[in-house]
Structure 1
């Protein structure tokens, strides 16, 4: 881990999941597990409108709060090809396409494309003029294993090949544990996870090359880093197709990102420790 704080947060998150597991009732019908491990053919689409309150953080390009549209969707063909799109669930955030090639009891194994990092832009100077340094998003190719055990889902992803040609291929890996349970009509979940990005990926987004370095943004070369995250959420069915949802998610960025001159300057006033948090409230329609 990159900091004592990150290690402590991970321990607290894992203990919380164990406590939730020991007090769980019936599995939530709308849990992460049921949505992300849909039957071998078919799927679902969930569209929502609501409000997002985010901590401004340059590491994620979070710019604050406002009304938002939410989507969580998955569809799989009989031959194993599938597509997924989620813009608010931390466990499987992003757009993915893949191929489900193996399904032993309780497990799904996929070849998949996934987003290792979203696009970012930073202010700067070049040739004595203000400019914006833009970094493209990174889609990667890898494998994903998802295990479902009653009310618990474990997921591991590993991606060694990047489609972003602006830097040499890096490596992305993630490990998640999700726990769902039900209290009366409320469907609840909690998850915690680790996201690892190699030096090549982090340096592309948060390093400051010598050729564009200035006195405000000195040259900076990063190392690899591991992000520690956790999320809790609740869902309440209003009717057969309508659902109320709320969630809170928190991530602690690795030191290699927090020490970047671009991130440090942006976060200095409002977010000194480099964390990312988001609270969402929405009403969604499922079909």
Structure 2
């Protein structure tokens, strides 16, 4: 979970995250990125942790409200995980879902299978920007589904399928993630690639513009379509002390099939960004 300290184009860029709200990087008890940064070789017992950090990010991509869609911003990073008798609660941890609650049904040396419940971020509303006055406020969806994670040495593969059960978007999303890390002295490098498939109902709710909304706002009407989203990131973690950690990441993701929405003020086929932070773990 990132709490922005400065209102900047990065803040505006974050609004594009509504098309990624179901892209979860959690494995059982610890997200993939955390597992890779911790240099986990297999499916070990989950860690309970709280992590707080301060960082800076620079990005460029599609934006709903900014014509330039690029800029620099500061953020506070907050993430944590708590596990008890197979139940787990994950907060933040570099996932698009701000909160995930789940139960582990199966856990072996190589495989983990979870039932998960997560909430998405909301979407545009009249408070987003003046050009959206008259637009229906997009609510957060409650996504319920299953997640399978496999551990193969330093490689981690995860697939999941989730559906909105509140009837907000009635959408379904599927994800596939593959991650790996490399250790060089005290520097732990990691890479992560993923695919996210969102159906037309999910995209239409968050990115569509109805005829009624078009008449009021002047924004061209648009029907959301199913889309496939690609994402990738590489990063490094370096322990400054027992509790202090330095982290840097570079990411690139695609917007094909998503930035066709007329809600976007600036459209780009790819988003890219770089971030760096210092974090305290306890």
More off after superposition, 66-75 vs 109-118: 109-118
In structure 2, the gaps of 5 or more residues are 1-33
Alignment correspondent of 1:4: none
For the structure 1 residues 171 and 237, does the alpha-carbon distance in structure 2 shift closer, same or farther, using more than 3 Å as the test? same
> Helix, strand or coil for the counterpart of 1:261?
coil
Hey, what's the Cα distance between the residues in 2 that align with 1:124 and 1:153?
A: 44
What do residues 217-259 of structure 1 show as CA deviations (whole Å, max 9, x unaligned)?
A: 121112111110001100111111111100011211132x211
Measure how far apart 1:80 and its partner are.
0.8
Alignment correspondent of 2:28: none
| Aligned equivalent of 1:141, options 139, 144, 155 | 144
> Helix, strand or coil for the counterpart of 1:236?
strand
Hey, what's the Cα distance between the residues in 2 that align with 1:157 and 1:198?
A: 14
Alignment correspondent of 1:252: 254
Q: Give the RMSD, CA atoms, in angstroms.
A: 2.9
Alignment correspondent of 2:60: 55
> Helix, strand or coil for the counterpart of 1:57?
coil
Measure how far apart 1:55 and its partner are.
2.4
The TM-score normalised by the length of structure 2 is 0.76
Alignment correspondent of 2:100: 96
For the structure 1 residues 125 and 149, does the alpha-carbon distance in structure 2 shift closer, same or farther, using more than 3 Å as the test? closer
For the structure 1 residues 259 and 285, does the alpha-carbon distance in structure 2 shift closer, same or farther, using more than 3 Å as the test? same
The TM-score normalised by the length of structure 1 is 0.75
Size of the alignment, in residue pairs? 244
> Helix, strand or coil for the counterpart of 2:223?
coil
Residue 157 in structure 1 maps to residue 160 in structure 2? yes
Alignment correspondent of 2:18: none
Question: Between Structure 1 and Structure 2, whose CA radius of gyration is higher?
Answer: 1
> Helix, strand or coil for the counterpart of 1:134?
coil
> Are 1:125 and 1:212, in contact at CA under 8 Å, matched by a contact in 2?
no
Alignment correspondent of 2:8: none
Measure how far apart 1:131 and its partner are.
4.0
For the structure 1 residues 93 and 31, does the alpha-carbon distance in structure 2 shift closer, same or farther, using more than 3 Å as the test? farther
Residue 31 in structure 1 maps to residue 46 in structure 2? no
Hey, what's the Cα distance between the residues in 2 that align with 1:170 and 1:67?
A: 33
Hey, what's the Cα distance between the residues in 2 that align with 1:233 and 1:60?
A: 29
Hey, what's the Cα distance between the residues in 2 that align with 1:134 and 1:35?
A: 44
